Structure 1
Amino acid sequence: MSTILVTGGTGTLGVLVVDRLREAGHEVRALARHAPEYPVDLSDGSGLDAATAGAEVIVHCASDTRGGGKDDESATRHLIDAARRAGTVTNIVYISIVGVDVVPLGYYRTKLRVERLLEASGLGLTVLRTTQFHDLVAQLVETAAKLPLVAPVPGGVRVQPIAVGEVADRLAELAVPTPSGRVTDMGGPETHTLADLARTYLTATGRKRPVLPIPLAGKTYAAFKRGGHLAPSHAVGRGTFAQFAAEVAAGRGR
């Protein structure tokens, strides 16, 4: 079995990847600022040398989502430098997003730059791009539903959400010493408009708020309307958004 690092090991995706890998018998080091065993600050690289010592594989899940990825590039540079110093890392598995090369959203552009940093590092690399997680769609709807009277969402945008647990399963499969390069994209099982998904979620969670699709302007919105973030030919996910919404409702006791 391998010694595997998981950056962002306490996050929504990372914690599931850690569980899968430990269940498979690997020695797993979950990296986060306040992790009990391997506290690591990727913003300045502190703690990385101890964490990477003897590791063969790194699953890079950490991302500054709240800050739009503003620290992701510097964090990845610190990770690359530590992996080189360790001299044992043969595969960095990176989770990316379908459409980072065609949708000009700032966060997507950052993810693409991180991909290119890793490609240029000379280290073994595996890149998995997926469509949006169910959780992200739910967060967008929850934010829209906080407004009075209606829940506004971008009109004409389709989404192909995927279960985060299924992505964790795939990353665990890819976390082996031999790198695979850019692997096949991974998309959810169904594609619906964001407005329809919002209605599904609000109905499942017991809210009758009307959903209002609103047309927007700009290149990013146009790219989303064109479906640059979708992977219709790779709809390999199994769990639907309706099932996810029902699970959320059940967890709230509805």
Structure 2
Amino acid sequence: MSTILVTGGTGTLGRLVVDRLRAADHRVRVLSRHVPASDLSSPVDLRRGDGLDAALAGVEVVVHCASSPRGGDDVAAGHLIAAARRAGVGHLVYISIVGVDVVPLPYYKVKLKVERMLAESGLGVTILRTTQFHDLVAQALAAVAKLPVMPLPAGVSGQPIAVEEVADRLAELAAGRPAGRVTDMGGPQVLGFEEAARTYLAAVGRRRRIVSLRLPGKTYAGFRRGGHLAPAHAVGRGTFAEFLARRPADRG
């Protein structure tokens, strides 16, 4: 079996990818800023790049899950690409987001830049774009639900997908050959934010008045047009309501 390195391997998605690859008997290394050094894991800050050569020694495949909305993904990708070339890595799998080429959110623009860097890197590359994870949508709604009134962007929908299903797909792609950009992966339902908020409130036993707001700017317009959705690729199975039902600790 291959030796596979997973960046961001302690994160919400990365740790599930690690579990699946190990269950398939691959030799897996975890790369993260938050793990102790061992023969299977490396504490590396990709934005600095120190220690990457040692972490990638003997690695055949990289699954790049590390990302930060605070910025620096392009810098991190540059370090990773250079080190992967030096190490002779044959396949780099990257998780991206549906709509990075349509919605001008700054974080999305950086993700698109990373896609282009990978495509031009000369490495064997596979890029998977997915819609939003259930976890992210729930976190956003939980934050807004702390207010007496829940303000939501008018006319915007989401298409949340189970992170476990994305991990399954990434593990499958990592075991295969480089495929370029593969088919997008979307959740099973396109769900208006108001409906998602009501589903969340019912699940946690709260009451809030929901207020829909029209917002200025091109980013909001991109979301209203549904550039971040993939209704033609609604391959996910687990719904947002089912995800919330599995989280009894969040109630109240």
Aligned to 2:249: 251
Q: Does 1:79 align with 2:80?
A: yes
Paired letter, 1:233: A
Aligned to 1:129: 129
Determine what percentage of the aligned residue pairs are the same residue: 67
Distance in 1 of aligned mates of 2:15 and 2:194: 30
Unaligned runs of 5+ in 2: none
Aligned to 2:234: 235
Q: Does 1:195 align with 2:194?
A: yes
Distance in 1 of aligned mates of 2:142 and 2:251: 17
Between 117-126 and 204-213, report the one with greater CA deviation: 204-213
Distance in 2 of aligned mates of 1:43 and 1:223: 29
Deviations 1:219-244 (A, max 9, x none): 11011000000000100000000001
Aligned to 2:166: 167
Q: Alpha-carbon deviation of 1:110?
A: 0.5
Q: Alpha-carbon deviation of 1:71?
A: 0.7
Unaligned runs of 5+ in 1: none
Is the 2:205–2:251 contact (alpha carbons within 8 Å) kept by the matching residues of 1? no
Matches within 5 A, 1:76-225: 76-87=77-88, 89-147=89-147, 149-176=148-175, 178-225=177-224
After the TM superposition, which segments of 4 or more aligned residues of structure 1 sit over 2 Å from their partners?
251-254
Let me know the Cα RMSD of the aligned residues.
1.1
Q: Alpha-carbon deviation of 1:209?
A: 1.3
Is the 2:10–2:34 contact (alpha carbons within 8 Å) kept by the matching residues of 1? no
Distance in 1 of aligned mates of 2:33 and 2:159: 32
Aligned to 1:62: 66
Deviations 1:80-134 (A, max 9, x none): 11111112x1110000000100111101100000000111110000000000001
Is the 2:98–2:230 contact (alpha carbons within 8 Å) kept by the matching residues of 1? yes
Q: Alpha-carbon deviation of 1:151?
A: 1.0
Deviations 1:46-66 (A, max 9, x none): 11111100111000000012x
Distance in 2 of aligned mates of 1:177 and 1:192: 33
Distance in 1 of aligned mates of 2:113 and 2:251: 42
Q: Alpha-carbon deviation of 1:159?
A: 0.7
TM (norm. structure 2) is: 0.96
Q: Alpha-carbon deviation of 1:165?
A: 0.6
Distance in 1 of aligned mates of 2:34 and 2:98: 30
Q: Secondary structure at the match of 2:127?
A: strand
TM (norm. structure 1) is: 0.95
